[in-house]
Amino acid sequence: MARALALSVSFAVVCVTACGKRGAPSTAGPLRVDDAWARRADSGATGGVYLRLTNTDTADVVITAVTAPESPAAALHESSEHDGMVHMNPRASVRIARDSTLVMAPGGLHIMLPDLTRAVEGRDSVLVTLMLGDGRTVRAVARVRTL
Ligand SMILES: [Cu+2]
């Protein structure tokens, strides 16, 4: 967990210096973002973001970290079931093959937002930034949805 956090911090620093195009549309990057949504959550609770990512690049794309302003410890997670119990494990990276689509959904891969600094509710949205292994970033706006 500490290692994942250190990774995301170092990638954030890279982004400040290398990612000049602030506010660029999320569809312009190597990943197309569809159906991004955030689970409703109270301030201080753990939130979750789910989305569909399609690799429109000419090569595989690897997500190495995620950031969100409302959650300094935002991380890639994967849920799995063993003996009837659901477990969540951090994922250091997620690869999306060329011309393929990855779905992040409840019960599988997801973006975890621990210790939210504000409530995520109503007509709100959450901005998440996906850090790629080659230094590029992809931004997604996730609208709040009540399960
Ligand atoms: Cu999780």
> What tokens were used for 35?
């159906």
**Distance from the CA of 47 to the center of ligand 1, in angstroms?**
9
**Spans of all domains in the chain:** 2-145
Measured from the Cβ of residue 49, the count of other Cβ atoms closer than 10 Å reads: 24
Say if residues 23 and 112 touch (Cβ distance below 8 Å): no
Q: What pLDDT is attached to residue 147?
A: 66
Per residue in 102-119, pLDDT (tens digit) is 999 999 999 999 999 999
Q: Where is pLDDT greater, at 90 or 4?
A: 90
User: Which amino acid type is present at position 129?
Assistant: T
Show Cβ contacts of residue 44 under 8 Å, excluding neighbours closer than 6 positions: 115, 116
Topology at the third CATH level for domain 2-145: Immunoglobulin-like (2.60.40)
Collapse the DSSP code of 47 into the 3-class scheme (helix H, G, I; strand E, B; otherwise coil) and give the result. strand
Residues with CB under 5 A from ligand 1 (ion): 77, 88, 112
**Distance from the CA of 20 to the center of ligand 1, in angstroms?**
30
Q: What pLDDT is attached to residue 29?
A: 78
Q: 20-31: string of b/e by CB count within 10 Å (b at 16+)?
A: eeeeeebeebbb
Per residue in 62-111, pLDDT (tens digit) is 999 999 999 999 999 999 988 899 899 999 999 999 999 999 999 999 99
**Distance from the CA of 80 to the center of ligand 1, in angstroms?**
10
Task: Give the closest residue to 119 by CA, choosing from 40, 43, 44, 39.
Answer: 43
**Distance from the CA of 86 to the center of ligand 1, in angstroms?**
10
**Distance from the CA of 103 to the center of ligand 1, in angstroms?**
15
**Distance from the CA of 40 to the center of ligand 1, in angstroms?**
14
